[in-house]
Chain A
Amino acid sequence: MEQPRIGVYICHCGVNIAGTVNVREVVEYAKNLPNVVEAKDYVFMCSAPGQEIIREDIKKCQLNRVVVAACSPTMHEHTFRTVLAEAGLNPYLLEMANIREHCSWVHTDKVAATEKAKKLVEIAVAKASTLEPLEEIEFKVNENLLIVGGGVAGMTAALDSARRGFRVYLVEKKPILGGNTARLGRLAGTDMRGVDVAGSMIEYVKRNGMITTLTNTELVSVDGSVGNFKVTLLKKPTYVNEKCTKCGECVKVCPVEVPNEYEFGLTKRKAIYLPSPASYASTYVIDGENCTKCGECVKICPVNAINLEEESERIEIYVGAVIAACGYDPYEPSVGEYGYGLSNKVITLFQLNRLLDPEGPTNGELKIDGFVPRSIAFIMCVGSLNTTPNSYPYCSRMCCSSTLKDILLLKEKYPNIDVYVIYKDMRTYGRDEQLYLTACEKFVKFARFREAPKVSVTGESLEVTFFEETLGEEISIPVDLVVLAVGMKPPKDVEKIRTILKVGCGPEGFLKEAHLKLRPVEAVTDGVYLAGAVTGPKNVVESITSGSAAASKAVGLLCREKVRIEPTIASIREELCSGCGICVSVCPYGAIIIQIKENTRSAKVEPALCKGCGVCAASCPSGAAQQLKYKDIQLKAQILAATYKR
């Protein structure tokens, strides 16, 4: 390697650094470090004149390495790499010392901070001496988009992307699109029902030639990286083809009966069933898990639409970006939680939505055991705000508004029902505050609890007991119906999706965006975007908006011809590799393969797949796998500089 000639540039960042660190002292210190030929300071190194100083020096002093001591590399590494490139140096011959976030911003003792800044510069100089030029890697971008989840967020993202001319694969694990929204009944703030919103989206999706919809299909694996993903899907059979006329004869003969999930278990359905009462459900389907394959339906079907021999199909597709819009699951109270499961007079808000839906099991009549209840208690924050030991700590955002919307509907239809809302905190934020005001006008009684209310079920009667905060005393309310305003929780298979897509999650299990403000709807994995309630509780409007946002980000990637990835990835020295396969075992991205030449094994990195996490380098027992720009010798140089007393 050529003799390093290092220039060190120390930024004041106005007073951000210079207010705490004695920059002049650091410059003098840097001048005496090994291989340093020039050291300067400037008020804003990232400004045009600051950059010019570096460019000039690279030429004048024949610098072949540059150290910039300034802010975090996240902020300006790119800026200074460009400066090097403009001056004819390989951009990866830059090393940054973060003397702002790691020093001046977190210390007050000026003397100690100056000493630390010196040390950080010394470490960067030691590393700079070992830097090698690296070339960026370029890949062509595949223009297709995969969307996982066919709820309103996923469908919106699909429509937005397809309308911009991109091929979309819309994958839904249920036999029908629509997600949870379709089952919600009347939506807050509109006169539309969820099924109407979902229904019109489904209609647009069907009509759009750029969208390929794959229902009853699960995600198996996603390999590759930004711009180039290989996706494996498993399309499960519904055993019923498009010849089905929805005559319903099959249902009459099917001997298997299970709870109807579409109606939140309020009714039962057969193993062959219509996945939604809405008109867009075009055929019956068979649920493979519960079907006993007795063949009765096949015998009776007048149009031969049923084939029980149908098999699952593995589908491989190639896409450039992925949007995860896998939604949420309603919180399911455990048996006995607020009397749930002990009486059919304790129901969830989702079940109430079904009962109030004209297409629901009671055609919109609120009747329990044939009677309209005279009084109802709504218990809020069920499963949210830590109200019970099983609850999640967060607020589910939509339940307060949704409850009040349902109450107003009820009051329209049954003005004489007494309604109690037993709440912990009423959060009808934004425009929904009107719902609260209207509810007050309609004499809905609000009562506030501190500790979760007790629901006692004695025979046919229900009583809700709790300490009412405003009155300051314990009260009991006998009611005919208790509705639990349950919140939202991460979908059941979120962990599987998370592992397949390699995205992070928060403590509650919802998928996590890379940065709430700077990188919303983006996952930490490049090329993966997140939409809808899979990132946390959202109402329908918010979900749709985030679907649009994710589509615009994904399309922003797909419309680029090529993606460049940083060359700071793993590299394996074949002449040292024993082919032991440890790196292959630990690589989270499937980026290393074993190649066999003349019956001997050695490992090879696939640059397109490598994320540069460094796990292989850390675990390689031969020291053959090294992380470029973070090689063992480079880290060792830094450690030695860090521990060396001058």
Chain B
Amino acid sequence: MEKPKMALYWCASCGGCEEAVVDLAEKILDVINLVDIVFWPVAVDFKIDDVEKLPDGSIVASLINGGVRLSEHEHVVKLLRRKSKIVVAYGACSSWGGIPGLANLYDKEEILKYVYGDAPSVDNPGGVRPREKHVEEVELELPSFLPRLLPLDVVIDVDYYIPGCPPTPEVTWKALEILLSGNLPPKGSVLGASDRALCYECPLNNTKPDKILLKDIKRPHQVIVDPEKCLLTQELICLGPVTRGGCGALCIKAAMPCTGCFGSLDEVIDYGGKAVSYFASILDYYTEEDVERILDRLPDPMGVFYRYTLPASRLRGKIKTTMR
């Protein structure tokens, strides 16, 4: 019997999500036994042409990681959508934009100017910028840089989401089991993770006092963390209360606060907004000076509260362009 076909693809991502799939370790062999991988640029030598030749809808599931930043990404994800029964946004970038999505705080020109000019590590006296077309004996083409980074579901219809930066092997495996079981949850569901916030599975949840009221906030390098005590109560910005669980509190177990890579829960409309709202509500201050002092402790609020979700948030970014 022919095995179901599966595709994996990366858009604007760091490669961590690819690594996460490889991190399935020996289980990857079980995956290979169960499915035929028809496209996986990082690991398997199939070309886009090969995908185009497949009949529409012949791939059972495509797992796509990374946000859509280049015209090539857009082209390939649209192609995969046509060829696939199920499209899964794999990882934070694909689901909501992820860290590369913070670039939506700047417009295309600002980004290129910095990356190819102003950044302290750049030596580019000729001011060379990438060009989409280059003719020198042969004509070369580069994908174009889109005005902003888009989460996958803004570009194509997405069936399911697997959260994480990257998704842990456990979450990935659970999600694959659900996908291969044929017993599929409602469209739009998050696969492999928990329905409750991280605190629920956090080993430090029971160390919380009745009321949490913070007089100050600290960054991890400013404090010697007590690993036996809820990090939030140690005045670290832990986003565990607002973040979907399922990771097993890996960061907390390494004495680092949750940064929110599993995104929000089903009932929450805007991750960053909710994060700010919850965090501000437990700050114990009364005067303007206190507010100033607290804000001084928070040099990058966008990077803290919208680290993984800016392009998918109500704010979307700083520049005004038409959403596709």
Contact = CB atoms under 8 A, between A and B. Distances in A.
Interface of A: 575-582, 584-586, 594, 596, 599-601, 615, 618-624, 632, 636
Nearest to B284: A585
Contacts of B208: 580-581
B206 A580 contact: no
Interface stretch (B25-33, B72-80, B262-270): B262-270
A582 B278 CA distance: 7
B205 A622 contact: no
6 contacts: A576-B195, A577-B196, A578-B241, A582-B241, A586-B281, A623-B265
A622 B212 contact: no
B267 A584 contact: no
Contact of B281 (A578, A600, A615): A615
A621 B274 contact: yes
B264 to A, nearest CB: 8
Interface residues of B, number: 28
Contacts of B198: 578
Interface of B: 195-200, 205-206, 208, 210-213, 240-242, 245, 265-269, 274-275, 277-278, 281-282
Given A575-B196, A623-B268, 20 more contacts: A575-B195, A576-B195, A576-B266, A576-B267, A578-B198, A578-B199, A578-B245, A579-B200, A581-B210, A581-B211, A582-B282, A594-B210, A600-B200, A600-B205, A621-B242, A621-B274, A622-B196, A623-B265, A632-B269, A636-B269
B277 to A, nearest CB: 6
A621 B205 contact: no
B210 A620 contact: no
A624 to B, nearest CB: 7
A622 B195 CA distance: 9
A621 B205 CA distance: 15
Given A599-B206, A621-B241, A581 B267 contact: no
A622 B277 contact: no
A619 B281 contact: yes
Given A601-B205, A632-B269, A619 B278 contact: yes
A609 to B, nearest CB: 14
A618 B270 CA distance: 12
A640 to B, nearest CB: 12
Given A577-B196, A578-B241, A582-B212, A622 B206 contact: no
B196 A619 contact: no
Contacts of B195: 575-576
Contact of B200 (A578, A584, A618): A578
B265 to A, nearest CB: 5
Nearest to A625: B267
B277 A618 contact: yes
B197 A586 contact: no
Contacts of B211: 581, 584-585
A576 B241 CA distance: 12
Contacts of B267: 576, 622-624, 632
Contacts of A576: 195-196, 265-267
Contacts of A581: 199, 208, 210-212
Contacts of A600: 200, 205
B281 to A, nearest CB: 4
B205 A579 contact: yes
A584 B211 CA distance: 6
Contact of A618 (B213, B242, B266, B281): B281
Contacts of A618: 277, 281
A581 B282 CA distance: 10
Nearest to A620: B278
A270 to B, nearest CB: 40
B137 to A, nearest CB: 56
A576 B269 CA distance: 15
A25 to B, nearest CB: 34
Given A580-B240, A580-B241, A623-B268, A601 B212 contact: no
Given A575-B195, A579-B205, A584-B210, A622 B241 contact: yes
List the 10 closest pairs (A to B, CB-CB), nearest first: A623-B267, A621-B242, A578-B197, A580-B241, A578-B200, A580-B199, A619-B281, A578-B199, A621-B278, A621-B241
